[in-house]
Chains A and B, each alone.
Chain A
Amino acid sequence: MKVNCNVDIRHLTRVEGHGNIRIRIQDGLVREANWEVVETPRFFEAMLVGKHYENAPYICGRICGICSIGHTLASIRAVENALGFIPSKQTARLRILLKHMETLQSHILHLYFLAAPDFLGVGSVLPLVDSHPEVVQAALRLKQLANDICDEVGGRRLHPTRTVVGGFTMLPDKHQLQSFGERLKKSLADFTSSADLFATFELPSFERETEFVSLKGEGDYPFIGGRLVSTDGVVKEEHEYRAMTNEYMADWSTSKLSRLSRGALAVGALARFNNNFNEMNALPLEISEKLGLSPVNHNPFMNNVAQLVECVQVVMESIDIIDTLLDTPWQESKEAVEAKEGTGVGAVEVPRGILYHCLELDSRGRVRKADCVIPTSQNHANIHHDIEALAQWCVEQGKQDKEIELLAEMLVRAYDPCISCSVH
């Protein structure tokens, strides 16, 4: 039987922000297969113009309700790089810990609340409260732990309050840190059961070769700053981010789009894994092997697995960071910085991929020009091409209407897009 299908999803559910999927297949021919980004733009880059740099992290954190910590840290790094300020080891450690916990809470939110319902055949996490109580409880436990640590280190889980240029307004309580370290150690058991659960999920065997872009770790799995790399062999420095992102506009998207060596590129957990698997600890690598993830993997649905693997990585690293913090006497929480003219770039691996903030400051420290390149905006073109290829793949596999619709939704969800962020 020839495949006929008409998918028209306006405002895809269980993703952050507003996007549409349109697929039309007639007698086995793909007539149309599109990803459309319809989010309203908010103009953060314009908002900052003329504002003193202290506004930048505070306002930019509000680009995103899921990865506000990542945006705040990217802005802080951009300002500090512009001013030629190097944060203390203590500040750097606390920032990484904070970022790890944001990654953990974001990945858990995505894996359990947004992605898992598809694999378990339900419309949301709500039915799972009754049918899979242990799954929901474990997810809530992990998310709460991550958020509690964000509260203690960053002052608040969403739109953090303690994170400022130069360091932190306040330091966490060491007794609290100690108990968080213990809770993190215990949480590793929850990941073993998560891995068992995810092993039962049937991921489509769809693949489309693409170029994966991320930071490159040097002796550690990368999260804040460093060199930019792609699986096609491109290597750039942090300040050369524009050569890595090449932003352009298209009529199907209110978000800017990116490309590098090919028509599109991908960022995110899978990109980080593909470029940095050799920097991972043994346990996450074991889990990736168990779940069939090995580099370089070109199946976008495997981003789910890569996120789960990263959860284990960030928990293990956080346990070590907390141990180091507990063994070291506290220094001043914040150092003084002086305003001067300059341009700085902050590249940070946030949950959905590499994020860049670039700020040009005048001699009084006011923003002359701002630029933010968001992970999801870098992914949009790849999602678009993936949907085309997926439609074709579905024709070859003889899939039918409802199945194609669900696969297309699952494909977009696998990227964990943050659409309002991408339009900002």
Chain B
Amino acid sequence: MKTERTFLGVPVVKPRVGFFDLSSCEGCQLQILNNEATLLSFLSLVEIVNFREGMKEKSDEYDIAFVEGSVTRADEEERLKRIRENAGTLVALGSCACFGGVNQLKNRFHDLEWVKKEVYGDFPIETREARPISAFVPVDLEIYGCPIKKEEVEKIVTKLVLGHEISHPNFPVCMECKANENVCLYDLGEPCLGPVTRAGCDSWCTSNRMGCWGCRGPAPAANLEQLEEIIKQKNIPQERLLDRLECFGGFGEAARKMRHRLEKNS
């Protein structure tokens, strides 16, 4: 690592950073470029040495690897393992890397042959069930969200560079939403996972009157049973709760159980 600047008189190293993508929309990487006002100062904090989507030069010597996307094919597992070997710190970037993301929606069919046929007919195509990267390699840090919130990434990367401890909020999005003085979406008849989803996005969706879909996964003390009660009280179809719980994979087992129960009862 190179020493270039100081923070409170203490030298600050400029880590070599790589961005990598597995099965994903590559939107989380683009979020890095999507905060134009602070982009240049962010870039001055790190040395980007591998970013296929943005630059031609590439190096396998990096301190921090940010990996976006989930694993859906054998070659991705191999690439991920190589990245793990090279990186001191491996960061899962976004819901696909952390939980499987929208990609894992295909897993619910438990029949990959049907999934392949539905899209490609008889053309042979390789795929596996979508898995988060932690299913294959140890992950040092997870940055949640679909998409990730750039401000949060900047904060986390600054802490990484300065060697500060990184922690995620343990309260749900609902609290941020209340602090932002929004009208509760349940009062507007909309289902919302705000009461059970990990905060940190500053109630990004609900502040725009879109119910939370749980892209950041469950808050540590998520009470899903109580949420089901609320849904019943508000006369919102359970299916709409399930759609949200299973969208990004963060509520894994709870969503699978709910689907099983609803399918059995229908």
* B-binding residues in A (CB < 8 A): 11, 13-17, 40-47, 49, 51-52, 54-55, 58-59, 62-66, 68, 109, 113-114, 117, 123-126, 129, 140-141, 143-144, 147, 155-159, 161-162, 164, 169-170, 249, 254, 256, 420-421
Contacts and interface: CB of A to CB of B under 8 A. Distances in A.
Interface of B: 21-31, 33-34, 36-37, 39-40, 43, 48, 51-58, 72-73, 76, 101-103, 105-106, 109, 114-116, 118-120, 123, 125, 127, 130, 146-147, 204-205, 208-210, 213, 239-240, 243, 247
A65 B109 contact: no
Contact of B23 (A40, A65, A159, A256): A40
B56 A47 contact: no
A43 B205 contact: no
A41 B120 contact: yes
Contacts, number: 154
A113 B37 CA distance: 16
A68 B33 contact: no
Contact of A123 (B55, B130, B208, B210): B55
Contact of B123 (A42, A158, A249): A249
Contacts of B73: 40
A13 B146 CA distance: 24
A217 to B, nearest CB: 29
B26 A170 contact: no
A113 B23 contact: no
Pick the most buried of A64, A140, A169: most chain B CB atoms within 10 A of its CB.
Answer: A169
26 contacts: A13-B55, A13-B58, A14-B55, A40-B22, A40-B127, A41-B120, A43-B116, A45-B119, A47-B102, A52-B239, A54-B240, A58-B213, A62-B101, A62-B146, A65-B24, A68-B27, A109-B30, A113-B54, A123-B56, A125-B55, A126-B48, A126-B55, A140-B39, A141-B36, A249-B120, A420-B26
A43 B119 contact: yes
Given A109-B33, A124-B54, A161-B204, A45 B118 contact: yes
Which 7 A-B pairs give the minimum distances between C-beta atoms? A65-B27, A124-B55, A155-B208, A144-B36, A123-B56, A169-B209, A161-B208
Given A140-B39, A249-B120, A47 B25 contact: no
Contact of B36 (A55, A147, A162, A421): A147
A257 to B, nearest CB: 11
Nearest to B52: A13
Pick the most buried of A42, A51, A64, A141: most chain B CB atoms within 10 A of its CB.
Answer: A42
Given A59-B247, A62-B25, A169-B210, 12 more contacts: A40-B23, A42-B102, A55-B243, A55-B247, A65-B24, A66-B26, A68-B25, A117-B56, A140-B40, A155-B208, A159-B27, A421-B25
B43 A126 contact: yes
Nearest to A68: B27
B124 to A, nearest CB: 9
Nearest to B206: A161
